[in-house]
Amino acid sequence: MADSFGPMHVGDADGGVVGMGPEVGSTRKEPIRVLVVDDHALFRRGLEIVLAAEEDIQVVGEAGDGAEAVDKAADLLPDIVLMDVRMPKRGGIEACTSIKEVAPSAKIIMLTISDEEADLYDAIKAGATGYLLKEISTDEVATAIRAVADGQSQISPSMASKLLTEFKSMIQRTDERRLVPAPRLTDRELEVLKLVATGMNNRDIAKQLFISENTVKNHVRNILEKLQLHSRMEAVVYAMREKILEIR
């Protein structure tokens, strides 16, 4: 399992889930409350059994489609929503946007068989913090839940590779003129954004810039609010697009 999404590192040798921007030193005392959303009852039950073995994770509810997921999220206010992409009535990506409205603090992990780049991009745009393929091991599901609860973005290595390939193509298609970052960001915020996009955690950013971790957290929050982004993963996309961070 990769600990961090370092300078565009896409995965470890054994194919573990890639993490972006880990938070360190979590002091969580209460169990991580999880809502499981999938249209296959047997798969939902399997996840519940697996997660029941984890003392720090509690499945608080389940839903069989996106519409039910929104209702359950509003009622239960889970910490994590573990949700499939392709479901009847209302798909996971469409539901993702609505869940963020009714339960803003909930973090959404898409757990799916879909390895389509378009689904990955749409999920990130809709506010998902993780995108995992169902081929991952049961241990990795629990680890990913903990990581996302602690502030990381999680993505399966094969999808991370596709994401990086698209970034490279996007930069190559861009003309020679340099895109200017949004002027609403201060110089310090641009510094922080660049370090976030290279995969540094808040503690390392604080050391690099000689400021406190709380100050870094405030800068990250302000950056996401100003640029109307939902996650550190989207910050990476923004930094790539604006050429704040180059891929080599």
Domain 177-241 classified CATH 1.10.10.10? yes
Interval 162-207: pLDDT, tens: 666 665 555 554 444 344 445 478 889 888 888 887 667 788 899 9
The DSSP 8-state label assigned to residue 181 in this structure reads: P
The domains of the chain are located at 18-163, 177-241
Average pLDDT, stretch 109-124? 82
* pLDDT beyond 90 at 236: no
User: Per residue in 32-90, pLDDT tens?
Assistant: 999 999 999 999 999 999 999 999 999 999 999 999 999 999 999 999 999 999 888 88
List the one residue out of 216, 211, 226 whose CA is nearest residue 196.
216
Tell which residue, 44, 14, 7, 4, has the closest CA to residue 155: 4
Question: pTM of the prediction?
Answer: 0.60
CATH number of 18-163: 3.40.50.2300
The residues that bridge with 37 in the sheet, in sequence order, are: 63, 83
pLDDT at 111 > cutoff 70: yes
Structure tokens at 160: 């991370």
Q: Tokens at residue 220, please?
A: 């990250």
Judged by phi (left if over 0) then psi (alpha if -120 to 50, else beta), residue 42 lies in: alpha
Cα–Cα distance, 59 to 43 (Å, whole number): 14
